[in-house]
A and B are shown apart, each in its own frame.
Chain A
Amino acid sequence: MLARIGRATCVSASQRFLHVAVERNAAFGQISEKDVAFFEQLLGAGGVVTDPDALEPFNRDWQKKYVGNTKVALRPRTTEQVSELLRYCYSRRLAVVPQGGNTGLVGGSVPVFDEVVVSTAAMNRVLEFDEVSGTLVAQAGAVLQSLDEYAGQRGFMMPLDLGAKGSCHIGGNVSTNAGGLRLVRYGSLHGSVLGLQVVLPQPLAGAAGAGSGGGGGGGDGRVLDLLRTLRKDNTGYDLKQLFIGAEGTLGIITAVAIQCAPRPASVQLALLACPSFPAVTAALRTARRMLGEVLSAVEFLDSPCSHLATAHLEGVRNPLLQGGAAEGGGGGGGGEGVTHGSVGSAPFYMLVETHGSDADHDQQKMERFLEAVMGDGSVVDGTLAASEAQAKSIWRLREGVSEALVRRGAVYKYDVSLPTSSMYELVEALRARLAAAGFGADAGVLVVGYGHIGDGNLHLNISAPRYDDGLLSLIEPYVYEYVSRHNGSISAEHGIGLMKAQCLSYSKGPVAVELMRRIKEVVDPYGIMNPYKVLPPRPA
């Protein structure tokens, strides 16, 4: 039985993203009344969702591109419950999709067919916090923003920040090795995660006699307890690294121990306008040199991104765009909240942020940096946030691009790592390629680039009035081949999910992929953990 990905089973058929035909694995069990009864008995009626309308948010991703057809979503509250239900699903060969905040961008967090969704939404407690070391232990379903607020009350901050912070779960962040806005300063989760608690699909130890099944404490053998808050622990293979970024294909993360950073006493944020991409990279070099140890974020966006964000989102504006007349009878109206008498739209904008312990010191560094980049012409205009409100407003411009793209229409989203100095050439090349084939600005197609320039990470997006296979065929595999030729990564931080499951070989060689398959087979012999994603099937 062949199923085209995203064949609409729910209302709006206009946004289907046709990708690759995947066949449902016939070896998987199918949900029955008996299964639902077991789940209800284990989790209580509130922990089991079977109503088709209530299942809708579990079945589709936030971009409305990937739609599954699960009949049941589960909301366990404890690790023991997760262990019990994985034991059951394993024995029944029921495929499982672990789901956090469902904010992923590659279709990795929703079912492809009728896989059971296991949501961490009900597991959101903070378990422990050490005010001296700044180590935080929380259940996997804790929302990133609440953890940051919790840490903030105690003088700390979470070591990562991303646009989805109000909805994403820390377990999901870890499963996808989320990057975000401050990786350039606080590093990746591979460094800041100190420990994990993971439930595996099959038991690897403990519980007298394999196959003695569940019943009470039988779950111990499948709970991988690596939950330590130690900064240093060289005792055998560092297994937690396997699960960081495994996208739920090896087990379900139920608790995370993470190293928080001291909340900076001084945050400075500048929004800069640059006349060209080489100017952007020159400013980046200067920022690294002059702001060095206090640099906390460097982002860029091109002019179309800025227009998108201001056009499609309420209350978002670019402070550097000239509004209203600067003299004469201008006054009120269009002059709201903008700098007056500044240059018109620049081709590129950058956000440069610092985190430090001393406001005077950081302000001086920032001012010297700004003088330098204004002086050498890499920056033609800019503004330094004078208050938290202004800083939030500037961040909103950058963080809102993703949402604005979704509102405009259909979006094809690519997240790649490329050499920084030539990064934008991909955007220009694709724009020219699509325009030549009739998919230019006249056809309502926009090709935009923005992203974490401090990490060499470009978010390439193609916005079109509607999804179109002809357009897609011009984009893929062109983008992947381009990236591969430049020895880049076809997925810098978004992961593989369903979207790129066939494309792993563009960035990883056959030995690597085979080793990944073998690990998967050892940990999950029935392949029930988030199937059809991440790893391509072995060639026949």
Chain B
Amino acid sequence: MKVLVAIKRVIDYAVPVRVKPDKSGVEALIPKLSMNPFCEIALEEAVRLKEKGVAAEVVAVSLGPQHFQETLRTALAMGADRAIHVAAGSGSVSEPPQPLGVARVLAALAAREGAGLVLLGKQAIDDDCNQTGQMLAGLLGWPQATFASKLEAAKGDLRVRVTREVDGGLEVLSLPLPAVITADLRLNTPRFVTLPSMMRAKKRPIESASLEQFGLAAADVAPQLTTLSVEEPPGRQAGTRVGSAVELVRRLREEARVL
């Protein structure tokens, strides 16, 4: 079975950010970019499937500007067999590709590659959209299991069992393949990349693909949404002491409006 994994390059999650003075977005205080943590978890899961013999090949794919290739190289070092870069976007970090465009490309690629499973992170930490996996499943007409915290698959099986984290607890689904699964935080802890793997990955090619090869045009991946403004949340107010239970109830009703 071939497993496709979608990878996005984002501002490293540990880098402090602040709202830009013109409120058009956020900017990082240090220009450090890394693989989106949830994409990393998805890739780790795919590599483990290969190590267990369930997957025959892991293909990492990224849609975005030229510098996304750096992260694809990390994907190769982590254990992906192939890496495909689909060029799109202006190259500026503040204009990442949007979910619908990504989903269209992944749908076309999944069909072309004959993928049996597509693994994605549940969301990217820069836009927090949490839409790509769901849209992809819709476009392909495939079953989906999102927020996966556990994935059980055996070699040759036609179905997979996925445990999902939902508000009320855990939900277990059984899905026929091919399917789309998005990874949540507790699915696994991604491996560190060893130096030997890194050295080897440097020498391996990253395939380039263009939108035309999938029968898509630039308009199909152009942003659908425009950000109007980004603002900081209101600062946390200092707490106050109340003198009596009566006053507490009054203030909860009149000021906090929770009663």
Residues of A with Cβ closer than 8 Å to B?
152-153, 155, 263-267, 270, 272, 319-320, 326-332, 335-342, 359, 367, 370-371, 374, 379, 381-390, 392
> In the complex, how many angstroms separate the beta carbon of A107 from the nearest chain B beta carbon?
36
* Cβ of B209 under 8 Å from chain A: no
Q: Looking at chain A's contact residues, is the secondary structure mostly helix, strand, loop, or mixed?
A: loop
> In the complex, how many angstroms separate the beta carbon of A42 from the nearest chain B beta carbon?
28
Chain B residues within an 8 Å CB radius of A327: 51
Q: Are B193 and A388 in contact (CB under 8 A)?
A: no
Q: Known: A337-B191, A359-B31. Is A387-B16 also a contact (CB below 8 A)?
A: no
**Interchain CB contact (< 8 A) of B16 among A152, A320, A336:** A152
* Cβ of B161 under 8 Å from chain A: no
* Cβ of B37 under 8 Å from chain A: yes
> In the complex, how many angstroms separate the beta carbon of A315 from the nearest chain B beta carbon?
10
**Interchain CB contact (< 8 A) of B192 among A264, A359, A390:** A390
**Interchain CB contact (< 8 A) of A384 among B14, B35, B48, B193:** B193
Chain B interface residue number, banded: 20 to 34
Chain A residues within an 8 Å CB radius of B189: 336-337
Q: Write the B185-208 contact mask toward A (1 if CB under 8 angstroms, else 0).
A: 000111111111011001000000
Chain A residues within an 8 Å CB radius of B196: 374, 381
Q: Are B12 and A383 in contact (CB under 8 A)?
A: no
Chain A residues within an 8 Å CB radius of B30: 263-265
> In the complex, how many angstroms separate the beta carbon of B8 from the nearest chain A beta carbon?
13
Q: Are A388 and B190 in contact (CB under 8 A)?
A: no
Q: Which residue of B lies closest to A382 (CB)?
A: B195
Q: Which residue of B lies closest to A370 (CB)?
A: B195
Q: Are A331 and B48 in contact (CB under 8 A)?
A: yes
CB interface residues, B 1-45, toward A, < 8 Å? 12-16, 29-32, 34-35, 37, 40
Residues of B with Cβ closer than 8 Å to A?
12-16, 29-32, 34-35, 37, 40, 48, 51-52, 74, 188-196, 198-199, 202
Which 7 residue pairs across A and B have the least CB separation, nearest first?
A388-B14, A319-B192, A337-B189, A387-B34, A383-B192, A336-B189, A382-B195
Q: Which residue of B lies closest to A337 (CB)?
A: B189
Q: Known: A152-B29, A329-B52, A389-B13. Is A384-B191 also a contact (CB below 8 A)?
A: no
A382 to B31, CA, bound (A): 25
A319 to B194, CA, bound (A): 9
> In the complex, how many angstroms separate the beta carbon of B7 from the nearest chain A beta carbon?
12
13 pairs of residues in contact across A and B, judged by CB atoms under 8 Å = A265-B30, A265-B32, A330-B52, A335-B191, A336-B189, A338-B191, A339-B193, A367-B198, A384-B195, A386-B35, A388-B12, A388-B13, A392-B14
A22 to B238, CA, bound (A): 49
Chain B residues within an 8 Å CB radius of A266: 32
Chain B residues within an 8 Å CB radius of A384: 193, 195, 198
Q: Which residue of A lies closest to B71 (CB)?
A: A386
Q: Which residue of B lies closest to A318 (CB)?
A: B192
